[in-house]
A and B are shown apart, each in its own frame.
Chain A
Amino acid sequence: MRLFRFFVISAVVIFLVGPLLVVGVASLNANQFLDFPVTEFSGKWYGALLTDPQWRASVSNSLKIAVPGAGLAVLIALPMAYALHQWRPRFSGVFMALGVLPFMLPPVISAVGALVLWNEIGRPGQIENVIIAHGVFFSTVPLITISLGLAGIDPSIQEAATTLGADGRRRFFTVTFPLLVPSIVTGYVAAFVLSLNEYIIAFMVAGFTVETLPIKIFNSLRYGFTPTIAAVSIVFTGISLGVLTMLARFGSLERLLGAGISDT
């Protein structure tokens, strides 16, 4: 069993990390073209990333979408999760399904949907369209983290607040909300990172006018390999890793992912 466990875990780690190591090596290759073994190392492609106005524009576009997009996702999810938890209305399953469905269906469906919608409205290709599409698509993520967070709050704490005379609003802002902050932050950050990396919706909704980073990577890939692509991939992986490590410090990652929470 030990051997089996060792085999499974190392196979998974190699499978998941291996490709990124290759990309990492490629990003440090001084040569413009790929060669093996690498003859000379250099960090110049990372520098190119910072100075090239096109890459910088795509980073800024991605941020302009991900920051408000993830915010919108939380704004959709928080009231919904709270209302469903607090009042348990009839058919709450239907509302939950509506909230979870966008993320469960293949994203290309949301992408065509948003494309058709904005064509119909007559404002195709705007950056706001991508923000809204991402906000709706990724609202599932904070909805789940916040619902899990609400389920983890001891009801007696809220009851205590009521007994002490707090009305619904006061109870929410002084008791529930502060306890929910980790779940909200997790939901926001996860939606933010996912939005930053999202390709197909951004591409179909406004890909020809707003070039986000994944779109830029893909467009450059079509013209062949450049080490800059490798460098930008590594930077992005680094950002994800950093953000997730921070989350792990901030709260219990295991709990946030649903460990030890009963399904009743």
Chain B
Amino acid sequence: MTVVETPADTVELTEPVIHDEDGPGMSWSGRIMLMVPTLVLAVFFLGPFALMLRTSFYRRIQGGFYEPAFVLESWSRLGSDFYIDRALFSLRICLFVAAVTVMFAFPFTWFLTRMKARYQVPLLIMILAALTLSEVIVAFAWDLILGRASGISNIMVWLGLMSEPQSYTPGYWAVCIGLAYIAFPYCVLTLYPALSRIDRELTEASETLGASPLRTFFNVVVPLSRTNLVAAFLMVFVFTLGSYIIGQVLGRPEHWTLSVFISDQATYNSNVPFAAAIAMFLTAVSLAIVGVTTWLGSRQGRARQKAVAV
């Protein structure tokens, strides 16, 4: 579990060596300004990781409690075929959703950044509103739309395209659609800064040289944003891994992702040690992905600096 503990270690290491390299040294008030929030985050965000790790070795006792012990019960259960299978399913469905989401969000964001503010702002408001929408509401809305009583199949019947209404939920595709819905706005906002930074002159140059807008999009815009595409894909992947409600409302238990199992174990099954073990596993996976994303970003940053230097 070194992966998880690295941030805590590094933070403690950095504390005594804070100083400024250029300009006046950091004043006491500056140190306090930095240290108080760091301390709050350390206690309430990093601290729980240590506790979770410890709790994952505790013994669960009947009645929803747990007692200090050192048993590997939770971890061996996590390593059972069933949970390995569930973990692989979670990764697979989230990878798939992330890929589809990026495929649609990328051209959308590109068009968005090239719009006049008059059109852009309402669309941005729509994206932000969709982002803040509670997952509960999203799941409920799709449950309605895909359901038998008043969903799209009723419209199909009404139009004479189908003979009788059908229910598409719960099911695999319902979960995919729900996940894509919550992932889409997040994906757009991840891509937005990078795409809006692409210089207009580049696309104009391409079009002056005779390339069609479509060709410019694929030969100029896409290659320019390859790193951002991968980064957005990975961030969306982690984001969908965290979804809890969608799988539960729009899917059957065989469509549940790891997040659903974590909260199900922690609450309805009152097995906090096991929930902690799955949470640690999910943390390791997510941290690895976030790490790769950050590394990609910094590599791109360096490449850009080099380009500027040349």
- Residues of chain B contacted by A207 (CB below 8 angstroms): 267
In the complex the two chains form, is A116's CB within 8 Å of B276's CB?
A: yes
The reply to whether the CB of A50 lies closer than 8 angstroms to some CB of chain B is: no
Counting CB contacts under 8 A, is A164 at the interface?
A: no
Partner of B276, one of A82, A112, A244: A112
Interface positions, chain B 105-140, Cβ under 8 Å from A, are 107-108, 111, 113, 117, 120-121, 123-130, 132-140
B44 touches A132 (CB 8 A): yes
With A84-B34, A233-B140 already in contact, the answer to whether A98 and B125 are too (CB < 8 A) is no
Inter-chain CA distance A40–B47, complex, in Å, is 55
**C-beta contact mask, B173-195 vs A, less than 8 Å → 1, else 0?**
00000000100110001001100
A139 / chain B contacts, CB cutoff of 8 Å = 37, 41
* B171 CB within 8 Å of chain A: no
Q: Is the CB of A240 within 8 A of B132?
A: yes
A75–B37 alpha-carbon span in the complex (Å)? 8
A226-252 residues at the B interface, CB under 8 angstroms = 229-230, 233, 236-237, 240-241, 244-245, 248
Complex: how many Å from CA A4 to CA B107?
9
Of all chain B residues, the one with the shortest Cβ separation from A215 is B136
A100 → chain B closest CB, angstroms: 9
Closest A residue to B239 using CB positions = A106
Contact of B151 among A22, A106, A114 (CB under 8 A): A22
Write the chain A residue with the least CB distance to B279.
A112
A119 to B67, alpha carbons, bound, how many Å? 12
B142 touches A19 (CB 8 A): yes
Interface: B262 (CB within 8 A): yes
Residues in chain A near residue B206, CB distance under 8 A = none
Chain A residues with CB under 8 A of B45 = 98, 101-102, 110, 113, 136
- Asked if B259 is an interface residue, CB under 8 A from chain A, the answer is yes
Q: Do the beta carbons of A76 and B133 come within 8 Å of each other?
A: no
For residue A230, which residues in chain B have a CB less than 8 angstroms away from its CB?
140, 144
- The answer on a CB contact under 8 Å between A258 and B214 is no
Question: What chain B residues lie within 8 Å of A199 (beta carbons)?
Answer: 134-136, 244-245
CB distance from B57 to the nearest CB of A (A): 12
B41's partner among A38, A102, A245, A262 (CB-CB below 8 A) is: A102
CB neighbours (8 Å) of A83 from chain B are 26, 30-31, 33-34
- Verify A94–B11 contact, CB threshold 8 A: yes
* From B30, B136, B185, B263, contact of A214 by CB (8 A): B136
Give the A interface residue count (CB, 8 A).
104
State A244–B128 Cα separation when bound (angstroms).
7
Q: Which of A12, A198, A233 contacts B141 (CB 8 A)?
A: A233
Number of A-B contacts (CB under 8 A): 313
Q: Which residues of chain A are near B275, meaning CB under 8 Å?
A: 112
- Smallest Cβ distance from A121 to chain B, in angstroms? 10
Which residues of A lie under 8 Å from residue B244 when comparing CB positions?
Answer: 107-108, 199-200
Within 8 A of B (CB), among A197-236: 197-200, 203-204, 207, 213-214, 217-218, 221, 225, 229-230, 233, 236
Minimum distance in angstroms from A216 CB to a CB of chain B: 9
Instruction: Verify A108–B140 contact, CB threshold 8 A.
Output: no
Given contacts A36-B154, A89-B26, A203-B263, contact A109 B126 (CB under 8 A): no
Q: Is B295 an interface residue (CB 8 A)?
A: no
**B10 near A94 (CB under 8 angstroms)?**
yes
Let me know if A98 and B267 touch, CB within 8 A: no
Distance in angstroms from A125 CB to nearest chain B CB is 12
Q: Is B14 an interface residue (CB 8 A)?
A: yes
In-complex Cβ contact of B33 among A23, A34, A80, A97 (8 A): A80
CB distance B137 to A236 under 8 Å?
yes
Q: Note all chain A residues with C-beta closer than 8 A to B32.
A: 79
List chain A residues, Cβ under 8 A from B19.
89-90
Residues 255 to 310 of chain B near chain A (Cβ within 8 Å): 259, 262-263, 266-267, 272, 275-276, 279, 282-283, 286-287, 290, 294, 301, 304-305
Q: Which of A1, A99, A258 contacts B213 (CB 8 A)?
A: A1
Could you list 15 A-B pairs, sorted by A, with CB under 8 Å?
A: A22-B151, A87-B26, A106-B239, A109-B279, A112-B272, A113-B45, A113-B49, A116-B52, A203-B267, A237-B137, A240-B133, A241-B125, A244-B125, A253-B121, A257-B192
Name A's B-contacting residues (CB within 8 A): 1, 4-5, 8-9, 11-13, 15-20, 22-23, 25-26, 33-38, 75-77, 79-80, 82-84, 86-91, 94-95, 97-99, 101-102, 104-117, 119-120, 132-133, 136, 139, 168-169, 190, 193-194, 196-200, 203-204, 207, 213-214, 217-218, 221, 225, 229-230, 233, 236-237, 240-241, 244-245, 248, 253-254, 257-264
Q: Which residues of B contact A (CB under 8 A)?
A: 7, 10-11, 14, 17-21, 23, 26-27, 29-34, 36-38, 40-42, 44-49, 51-52, 55, 104, 107-108, 111, 113, 117, 120-121, 123-130, 132-145, 147, 149-151, 154-155, 158, 165, 181, 184-185, 189, 192-193, 196-197, 212-214, 217, 235, 238-239, 241-242, 244-245, 249, 259, 262-263, 266-267, 272, 275-276, 279, 282-283, 286-287, 290, 294, 301, 304-305
Q: Which 9 A-B pairs have the closest CB atoms?
A: A106-B242, A113-B48, A258-B193, A19-B141, A197-B134, A1-B213, A79-B33, A34-B149, A259-B196
